[in-house]
Amino acid sequence: MEGRWGVGLIGVMLFLGVVVGCIYAQDNADTITAVYIVTLKQAPTSHYYGELRVKHGHHIKRNGSQRSRFDTARNASRTGGHHGSYIDRVHDSLLRKALRGERYLKLYSYRYLINGFAVLVTPQQADKLSRRREVSNVVLDFSVRTATTHTPQFLGLPQGAWAQEGGFETAGEGIVIGFIDTGIDPTHPSFSDNTPEKPYPVPEHFSGICEVTRDFPSGSCNRKLIGARHFAASAITRGIFNATQDYASPFDADGHGTHTAATAAGNHGIAVVVAGHHFGNASGMSPRSHIAVYKALYKSFGGFAADVVAAIDQAAQDGVDIISLSITPNRRPPGIATFFNPIDMALLSAVKAGIFVVQAAGNTGPSPKSISSFSPWIFTVGAAAHDRIYTNSIVLGNNITIQGVGLAPGTDTDAMYTLVSAMHALNDTTAANDMYVSECQDASNFKQDVIQGNLLICSYSIRFVLGLSTIKQALETAKNLSAAGVVFYMDPYVIGFQLNPIPMRIPGIIIPSPDDSKVLLRYYNSSLVRDETTKNIVKFGGVASISGGIKANFSRAAPKIMYYSARGPDPEDSSLDDADILKPNIVAPGNYIWSAWSCRGTDSVEFEGESFAMMSGTSMAAPHVAGLAALIKQKFPFFTPSAIGSALSTTASLNDRNGGPIMAQRAYANPDLNQSPATPFDMGSGFVNATAALDPGLIFDSSYDDYMSFLCGINGSSPVVLNYTGQSCGVSTMNATDLNLPSITISKLNQSAIVQRTVTNIGSNETYSVGWSAPYGASVKVTPTHFSIGSGEKQVLSVVFNATMNSTVASFGRIGLFGTQGHIVNIPVSVIVKVSYNNTGG
């Protein structure tokens, strides 16, 4: 998964760095096969239908007959109608001709966004396919990974965006969000369609189906969850698919997909009860939107591009309005530009078909160029903290208070409890030979009469990070021994990790700081009373009370950019040359996010068996924006994908709740002590402002043809563009700076540059004044400085940059358009390398 952070120690990847190779042995060791993605020169179906879809502001029915949306057998054809069958026959015929009599296995036919297929062949067979005149491109498959109760209030939805849409009862109605993720738990109340008070029809433009399997039985889909499929052919050919763990169905065995779907479009007002504690009521950002699930990621191995592309292709053909991807590639795509990879190019065709695409930025921050989402047609979302925090503390008998974490009840407020270390309550000396006994994983190791009614002290080691020991098991130990509560101290070898709050049914706390842990242990050891002769402990003198961490607190220092959120600048190629494109595009809530959890979800052992989980990561931020985009699409059904992205970007907030600049954490260790004002490479245009995005005033629009001209403008790209799209590059090309984006990014300002942007007024007639602040080391002049613009009219802005010094350090500015009716349009400006007229140093 997209480097998603679990609720335990942040920083531990789901797959612990395991990347499965692409080879698979056939008959002998000399014959090695791999999965390849093959695209043909003939245009895909979407290139014929895309213009119609955009022109009419919505989708068209692609088949002559409407298929049943629910309870369709799992072996149903991926596309209906004769055209899909024809394309299948073309692919099969090509394979037979190219590989006469040889063994191969076709996994998918891609029909809608890409005309091609995924096939298991040897390198020699792949070479034969690449030489066929019908074939434009052959790419080796690669692996991918995956990167709320309060956030609607923090984003101002109840009184703002929801109110504008008629309340939460109608927010996002008629919009379908497609999720490429780990599947969904259809039994969760967040996905119920039990709304008898008003009609809730399935949108006419959606033609997807629901698979029916033992794990996903008939009736799993409804008017809320209207489509569900799974894609695992590439994984199965590698022999790594575990049907027991991963489920050959849309059912979510992980939890991540259920969490993201509910964050974007879960029902409103669902009670969040975890470990017996009530944490409020949950709602998705667009609670009336419909959900379609395309499972292509799995707990045990992640996913592969061939399966992800198949999922994207199907989602687009089914007629989703928005695609949400909380996944990123495991490596930066090779080749002349990062944009040229099967997933991004499939998403380009999705954008051509009018689909807004949201992707998580990745959890590889805070270093520069750590972004894992590259292309300008993809809306990339970073993670920020919101204002709700959960704190816990322990008060020692010497009146020292130590801060910690844990979603746990406190001890009785008027009482202090004796502290007993697990190491001092062992059943016999043989247990002391177990070097991990202090982690409290087995109650049989301890004397109940020593621990009963006291606070048990346990260690938190790297084994918890690796999942070899768990908080849940330690709590079970404490419960079996009748302890009053548990105190976890941090092993000194676990350095720099950040703990998310963990649910506990009994009083407990985890002290995440090794230094604070030493304070606890010093107090405990100094309070022990020992027999002077035997040195045996005769009295446990240390006492403490736990305050508890169930009640939320609220901070004004929010939002702030989380240290793990991937940063720009956007790398254009594998040699890390910078692209003239701003990434991330925006940031949204991604830290400490409550959302639905699969009843069989195993991603976080601490939430196993729970119906909600608290997760952190850019995986959580992306579905926030997908849901908010649905609100924009509902209000402006004619908006193109770039118009939706523009509305979100130009209205984003630049300040925290204190009125100061949004801060960005700069270090993995002690992140709150290492932060500074966020730049566009940290937060893109800023923190999402849902209400303002519904009334942006002006928008920046870009078309599929613009993106094609940009790709054709990359040096040496013509054959690659032809391979991926089947279209030849003409004489008309453009640089990335010429794309009509709601930002300006210049990777190298060589003396001077002129950049133009075109705005379109989607509001009423208005007059705007223009202001700006120049990046350090450059001067900026924008013309015109004032303009009046009628409804539906366009205005060209010309921005002249001049380098005033030589510098390789990125600097930032901003252009603001201020309307007489209150609209404010923000355009972030980033300039990296600056070469002035006075450059004499070469």
Residues forming the active site: 181, 256, 619
Q: For every residue of 146-202, which 3-state class applies, written as one string?
A: ECCCCHHHHCCCCCCHHHHCCCCCCCCCCCEEEEEECCECCCCHHHCCCCCCCCCCC
| CB of 407 closer than 8 Å to CB of 503 | yes
Return the closest-CA partner of residue 88 out of 74, 71, 106. 106
Q: Which two tokens stand for residue 426?
A: 């062992």
Residue type, 91: H
**Residue 402, SS3?**
strand
User: Considering Cα of 368, then 370, then 373, then 379, what sign does the dihedral take?
Assistant: negative
What's 67's DSSP letter?
P
**Residue 94, SS3?**
helix
Residue 744 CA, distance from chain mean position? 24
Q: Which two tokens stand for residue 132?
A: 């066929």
Query: Whole-angstrom Cα distance, residue 614 to residue 277?
Result: 13
Residue type, 582: L
| CB of 509 closer than 8 Å to CB of 475 | no
Query: Whole-angstrom Cα distance, residue 822 to residue 16?
Result: 50
Return the closest-CA partner of residue 152 out of 6, 292, 262. 262
What angle do the packed helices 704-712 and 718-725 form, to 10 degrees?
140
CA distances in angstroms from 540 to 74, 354, 529, 655, 690, listed in the order given: 63, 69, 6, 51, 55
- Strand segments, DSSP code E, in 776-821 are 778-783, 786-789, 794-803, 811-819
Say if residue 377 is exposed, middle or buried (CB neighbours under 10 Å; 0-12, 13-18, 19+).
buried
b or e along 185-212 (b: 16 or more beta carbons within 10 Å of the residue's beta carbon)?
A: bbebebbbeeeeeeeeebbebbbbbbbb
**Residue 385, SS3?**
strand
Q: For every residue of 579-610, which 3-state class applies, written as one string?
A: CCCCCCCEEEECCCEEEECCCCCCCCHHHCCC
* 358 Cβ neighbours under 8 A, 6+ residues apart: 322, 323, 324, 325, 378, 379, 381, 622, 623, 625, 626, 629
User: 98 - beta bridge partners?
Assistant: none
Q: What is the phi/psi pair of residue 261, to 5°?
A: -65, -45
Return the closest-CA partner of residue 564 out of 145, 10, 15. 10
- β-pairing, 698-700 vs 752-761, is antiparallel
* 486 Cβ neighbours under 8 A, 6+ residues apart: 440, 455, 456, 457, 458, 474, 475, 478, 504, 506, 507, 508, 509
Q: Which two tokens stand for residue 407?
A: 């979603």
Return the closest-CA partner of residue 616 out of 641, 595, 637. 595
- β-pairing, 612-615 vs 401-404, is unpaired
Place of tokens 């100094």: 526
| CB of 382 closer than 8 Å to CB of 652 | no
Query: Whole-angstrom Cα distance, residue 747 to residue 622?
Result: 26
User: Considering Cα of 839, then 840, then 841, then 842, what sign does the dihedral take?
Assistant: positive
- β-pairing, 794-803 vs 752-761, is antiparallel
